[in-house]
Chain A
C-alpha cells in the first residue's frame, strides 16, 4: 500500500529552523494549557478528548480534490476551535500531531514544532478569530452557523499552508532559486480546494453537534450574541 504521510517529513526543513519552531510551539502550547484550564471543567475535558480522537479519525480520510492525483485531508483547527474553544482546541490538534509523529511515523519528530505551529496554532487561531467575527455579524441561525464554520475552516487551511511557506523560506532544504512565490501559489491553490472539503466536514460536524447538544458548542456558548441579553461576565472577555 502507498505510504500515508500527511505532514512535514524529516529533511524538508533544516534542523536549526525546526528547533526554533519547536521552542516556539512549546511556549505557545504552554500558554494554551494555562488559558485552556479556565475552560476545562468536568464536562469539557472528556469532550475535548473526543474532539482529538475525532480529528485523528477524520485526518485519515484523504479525499480527492478537483486536481487529479492530489488528495486533501482535514486539519481540524476550525472544528476544534468551534467545539472546545481556541486554547483547548489548539491542544487537541497538537495531541493528534504528537500521536501521529510518535506512534504512526507521520510527520518527522524533529519537524513536530513546525507541524504544530502550522496546524495546531496558526490554523486554530485564525479559525477562532474568524468564528468570533462571523458569529457576531451573521444571523444566529443554523445557516449562519454553517457559513461561519465553512468560511473559518477554509481560510484557516489556506493560512496554515502559508505557515509552511514561511518556514520553507527560513529553512527549506532545496534552493528554489527565488521561486518561493511559486511554492506559495501552489500551496495556496491546492489548499483552497482542500479548504472546501475542510469547510464541508467542519460545517456538517458542527451542525450535527449543535442539533444534538448545542450546549457542547463552545463558540455558541461563550461568544457574545447580538440578540440575547448580555451575560454578566466576571473578569471581562476571554
Chain B
C-alpha cells in the first residue's frame, strides 16, 4: 500500500477512536428506535425503567455474556463512567479493526496485481499469465473451453 493510503487509514482510525473514546460520552442515553417501539404499551420512569403496563420489551431476557468485562459499553472495575465508556469504545474500535482488517486481509484475492490508485478496479489490469486470471475470466475460459 502506498504512503497516502497508510495516512488515510491512520487518519480514519484516529477519527473513529476519538468518536468512540470521547464523543460517545455525549451520546443520548434514551432507548433507541427499536427499544422504544418495544416499550409501547408500558409506562416508564425517568430512567426508562418499566413501571407498569404490558409491552414486548418485558419478554427481554439477560444476555448470554452479560458478565463480559466490557458488557454494556463499560469497562468493569473502572468507576469513572467517562473513562469507562471511553475506554470500552477505544477497545471496541481496535478490536473491530483488528478482526475486520485481519479477516479481510486473509480473504483478499492474491491473483491480480494491485491496481493503481487512479485506475478502475475492474478488468483494466492486463493479465499476467496464469496468476492474474480473475474469477470472471476463469469462468469465461470455462465457458469457451
Tell me the bound Cα distance from A1 to B27 in angstroms: 12
Q: Is the CB of A43 within 8 A of B92?
A: no
Residue of A nearest to B95 (CB): A99
Q: Which of A2-10, A121-129, A131-139, A145-153 lies on the face that meets chain B?
A: A2-10
The answer to the question of A174 belonging to the interface, with a C-beta cut-off of 8 Å to chain B, is: yes
Q: Is the CB of A190 within 8 A of B102?
A: no
List residues 20-77 of chain B with CB under 8 A from any CB of chain A: 20, 23-24, 27-38, 40, 47-48, 54-66, 68, 70-74
Q: A36-B107, A52-B100 are in contact. Are A41 and B72 (CB under 8 A)?
A: no
Residue of B nearest to A218 (CB): B121
Residues of A within 8 A of B60 (CB): 9-12
Q: Interface code A206-234, partner B: CB below 8 Å = 1, 0 otherwise?
A: 00000011011000011000000001111
Q: Is the CB of B19 within 8 A of A58?
A: yes
Q: A41-B114, A49-B97, A69-B36 are in contact. Are A9 and B104 (CB under 8 A)?
A: no
Q: Is the CB of B73 within 8 A of A41?
A: no
Q: Interface code A1-27, partner B: CB below 8 Å = 1, 0 otherwise?
A: 111111111111000000000000000
List residues 124-141 of chain B with CB under 8 A from any CB of chain A: 124, 134-137, 139-140
Q: Is the CB of B30 within 8 A of A62?
A: yes
Q: A2-B47, A2-B48, A37-B108 are in contact. Are A62 and B32 (CB under 8 A)?
A: yes
Q: Is the CB of B137 within 8 A of A104?
A: no
Q: Is the CB of B20 within 8 A of A71?
A: no
Contact among B5, B12, B29, B92 with A56 in the assembled complex (CB-CB below 8 Å): B92
Tell me how many residues of B have a C-beta within 8 Å of chain A.
85
Residues of B within 8 A of A50 (CB): 9, 12-13, 16, 97, 100-101
Task: Quote the shortest CB–CB distance from A111 to chain B (angstroms).
Answer: 9
The answer to the question of A48 belonging to the interface, with a C-beta cut-off of 8 Å to chain B, is: yes
Q: Is the CB of A47 within 8 A of B9?
A: yes
Q: Is the CB of A41 within 8 A of B109?
A: yes
Q: A45-B107, A57-B89 are in contact. Are A1 and B32 (CB under 8 A)?
A: no
Contact among A33, A43, A57, A168 with B17 in the assembled complex (CB-CB below 8 Å): A57
Task: Quote the shortest CB–CB distance from B111 to chain A (angstroms).
Answer: 10
Q: Is the CB of A104 within 8 A of B58?
A: no
Q: Is the CB of B112 within 8 A of A12?
A: no
Residues of B within 8 A of A54 (CB): 12, 15-16, 19
Q: A4-B73, A61-B19, A235-B140 are in contact. Are A9 and B63 (CB under 8 A)?
A: yes
Residues of B within 8 A of A191 (CB): 33
